Structure 1
Amino acid sequence: MPRQNTSVSYGSVTKTFHWLTALLILTAFPIGYFAEETAEFIQSSAFDGSQATIEQATLLFSLHKTVGVAAFFVALGRILWALTQEKPGLLHPDRKLEAWAAETAHWVLYGAMLIVPLSGWIHHAASDGFAPIWWPFGQSLPLVPKSAFVSDLFSSVHFFAMLLLGATILAHIGGALKHHLIDRDSTLLRMAPGTRAMPVPPAQVHSALPFVTAVVVWLAALGTGTGVFLIAEGTQGEGAPVVAAQSAEGSGWAVQSGTLGIEVTQMGSAVTGSFATWSANITFAEPANPGPAGDVTVEISIPSLTLGSVTAQAMGADYFNAETWPTATFTADLVQIEGDQYEAQGSLTIRDQTVPVTLPFTLTLDGDMAVMAGKTEVNRMDFNVGAGTKDEGTLGFGVGITVELTAQRNG
């Protein structure tokens, strides 16, 4: 079998690229499906924290990503080889609609072989990532920043490009079977292994229309993926409360606005969220010298937490168990350390566990207005949150807590 293409059939190199690409793509599809199914279960409230399930998801995603990167490079080699080769003509160029559809599908597939794995790769590289690609060249890509926005955007593009790839593959297979079983011509056999006599194609009239059509199809797919992502981002932004906190009745200070946020690390990726409902009862008077300055009691509605794609999982029995313990409480004494540096020294109760916690914060006073910002970290294991997940590489032990608020003195 000759290595080069001829006017009547494909050579051995082209056939090898074709079938290897098909094998990699058709392998990546089911692995990706089962990986997503496992990830969705892990993120659901039904997940019990099983380490074996988490390891299975990591294995499936690593395998999917590695196969995808391999498919990208094989596809790139195939396209570069095709540019140097003669392409056998259509056996029925007189069937204008069929010829246009076949050529369009080929151009769409060429784009898909690059766009689908590349968009997935960018999604991976832009995040801190879990489930690494199995190769020695690192997990990053040049010019791709670590950005949740970029990662989520290309995740959406990857999904819609994958749908287009799947539909085009089905159309491509259907066309090949139609040629073989109904037309009974040699279209399919020209790509089959082995050497055999092939008919000489009739004269061809080439057109740019199939390429233009494929570009339009890809612009529609990429635009859909981008548009769906941006709409979802906008909807989430509209849903965020402008004032997340309120003052408890009888408080010495009225909270005007504020946010209470948390950050966890799941499988190497930072996941941030915030509580939409919480109240603060604040008693405060600026001391003449560093020392006691008041006290605070904060009550937090656990079900009001939004934590990205793992919100439902966080509410589950192995985590916050919001149905049984819907409220967390922080009670502390306020102490001036020096200048605008303060600490809230007290205890935090989550679930049925109460743990000593100190929150360092800065405080700026302007008449009856006060602006504070603080940050601390707690260990989730101290509160039996995610106790079934003891692998810190899967779910980090440390949970960052950030508080920002503006308050006005009552009376």
Structure 2
Amino acid sequence: MSLTNTATRYGAVTKTFHWLTALLILTAIPLGWYANRLPLEPGETLALKAQLFSVHKTIGVAAFAVALLRILWALTQPRPAPMHPTRRAETWLAQSVHWALYAALVVVPLSGWVHHAATEGFAPILWPLGQTLPLVPKTAAVAVTAASIHWVFTKVLIAALVLHIAGAVKHAVADRDATLARMLPGRTDAAGHGPSPGHAPAALAATLVYVAGIGTALALAEAEGDRVASVEPLAEAAGSWQVQEGTLGITVRQFGEDVEGRFAEWQADIEFSEEPVEGRHGEVEVTISVPSLTLGSVTEQAMGPKYFAAEEHPRAVFSADIVPAEPGYVAEGTVTLKGETAPVSLPFTMEIDGDTARMQGGTTLDRRSYDIGSGETNADNLGFGVEVSVDLTATRRGDRDG
């Protein structure tokens, strides 16, 4: 059998690409569907969910590479004429579906890969080449947009795939022609009847489908962005120092990988004096909006009742006295989270330049103290320790004594 196409048959390379693509896609879609429907329960179910997503992503990357090679090969090869070119509507539909299928085979795995690269943790791609992509920042905006595109165009891919298979079955069962046979292993010569119609109308139809799909995906991404932005703002902070800028982050160990997250909404009431009074430099109370947390690809999971229970417990509070330590200071107090309160010590350093202070510190919380993921008793799946880091710049209020 010839490696290349002719006017009457497909070559071995085209057939190999066709069936390899079919194998990869028909494996990846059920895996993704099943993994999505597994509950976010701690324990073996969550571990299985992560493993299935890892396999799904790995197959997706392979499908993306094969699709690119298939398209490049197709551009160099003649395409056998359709068996019934005089059936214009049928031929136009077949070509439109083919164009849509080609594009989906690139857009779906690529958007999934971009979403993976823009997030942290949970279900790594099973290869040694790293989990990031050049020019793809780890931001919520990129992740949400890529996820929306992936969701929409997965539906386009499935629809195109169903129509493609239905067309092949029609040709084999109803028309009893050699359309399907030309793509099966072995040599099958079957000339079409008459010239093949141009591809421009079909390509235009497929393009319109994709423009509509992009529009839908962007609308979904904007709606998700509005939902995140709708987190109830906190009251204005009080105290002798006012935070001007800062970050409050956490790092969770999940399935052997660090997953980093940040709280977008939090405020700190700070009373601080450079000179200690009765062994204290002051006090601090930090109020945190739990729903404002972004935690890589597991944000939605983290907000659920088995973990942060953000809907029922939307606020976390850290209250502490500030006492001297070597080096720097320690905030000795408690964290109240998910209705549970536990003691916490947070060592930190501070550099004061006039009326501006730069503070950096961190501590480790035990998630079990707050009934977070209590059903997950395997630290290899979800680490017990949650690292907390804070970095802020504050200025002294002019109307308060420092």
Above 0.5 in TM-score? yes
Q: Distance in 2 between matches of 1:322 and 1:146?
A: 23
Structure 1 counterpart of 2:379, from 365, 388, 391: 391
Between the aligned partners of 2:125 and 2:23, the Cα distance in structure 1 is: 19
Counterpart in 2 of 1:161?
A: 153
CA distance in 1, matches of 2:196, 2:47: 54
Which residue type is aligned with residue 348 of structure 1?
V
Once the two structures are TM-superposed, the CA of residue 59 in structure 1 deviates from its matched residue by: 1.4
Match of 1:155, SS state, is helix
Does 1:360 find its partner at 2:360? Answer: no
Give the total of aligned pairs. Answer: 389
Of stretches 24-33 and 151-160 in structure 1, the one that deviates more from structure 2 is 151-160
TM-score (norm: length of structure 2): 0.79
| 2:185 aligned counterpart, secondary structure | coil
Are residues 1:121 and 2:113 paired? yes
**Residue from 348, 355, 362 that aligns with 1:376:** 362
Residue 263 in structure 1 maps to residue 250 in structure 2? yes
Match of 2:75 in 1: 83
Question: 1:379, 1:397 within 8 Å by CA — same for their partners in 2?
Answer: yes
Whether 1:194 and 2:186 are equivalent positions in the alignment is yes
Match of 1:111 among 100, 103, 109: 103
Matched, 1:316 2:305: yes
**Contact 2:120/2:260 (8 A) holds in 1:** yes
Residue 6 of structure 2 is matched in structure 1 by 6
Query: Deviations for 1:259-299, whole angstroms, at most 9, x for unmatched residues?
Result: 995524363332333567x895x76666488953333456x
Q: What whole-Å deviation, never above 9, does each CA across 1:108-134 have from its counterpart, x for those lacking one? A: 111112221122222223333332222
Give, as a single letter, the amino acid of the residue that structure 2 aligns with 1:376. Answer: G
In structure 2, what residue type is equivalent to 1:2? S
Partner of 2:164: 172
Q: Distance in 2 between matches of 1:301 and 1:72?
A: 41
Identity of aligned residues (%): 36
Task: Please state if 1:344 is matched with 2:331.
Answer: yes
Partner of 1:15: 15
Residue type of the alignment partner of 1:31: L
Matches of 2:127 and 2:276, distance apart in 1? 62
Contact 1:129/1:269 (CA < 8 Å) preserved in 2? yes
Query: Is the 1:292–1:334 Cα contact (8 Å) retained in structure 2?
Result: yes
Change (3 A) 1:187 1:208: same
- What is the alpha-carbon distance in structure 2 between the residues aligned to residue 312 and residue 55 of structure 1? 13
320 and 185 in structure 1: CA distance in 2 versus 1, 3 angstrom threshold: closer
Structure 1 SS opposite 2:21: helix
Cα shift at 1:56:
0.7
5 Å-filtered alignment, 1:65-104, equals 65-104=57-96
**What TM-score does the superposition give when structure 1 sets the normalisation length?**
0.78
Partner of 1:34: 34
Q: Distance in 2 between matches of 1:171 and 1:324?
A: 45
Root mean square deviation, CA, Å = 3.9
The 1:218–1:383 alpha-carbon spacing in structure 2 relative to 1, beyond 3 Å, is same
Shift in Å, 1:79: 1.8
Question: For 2:68 and 2:60, how far apart are their aligned partners in 1?
Answer: 12
One-letter amino acid matched to 2:262: T
Q: Which one-letter code corresponds to 1:265 in the other structure?
A: V
Instruction: Output aligned runs, 1:104-253, within 5 Å.
Output: 104-196=96-188, 198-237=190-229, 239-244=230-235
Query: Structure 1: 5+ residue runs without aligned partners?
Result: none
- Find the aligned partners of 1:327 and 1:12 in 2 and give their Cα distance: 62
Q: Distance in 2 between matches of 1:140 and 1:320?
A: 27
Secondary structure, counterpart of 1:354 in structure 2: strand
8 Å Cα contact 1:264/1:395 also seen in 2: no
Contact 2:322/2:330 (8 A) holds in 1: yes
For residues 60 and 35 of structure 2, what CA distance do their matches in structure 1 show?
Answer: 13
Structure 2 residues without counterparts, runs of 5 or longer: none
**Residues in 2 aligned to 1:154 and 1:363: alpha-carbon distance in whole angstroms:** 41
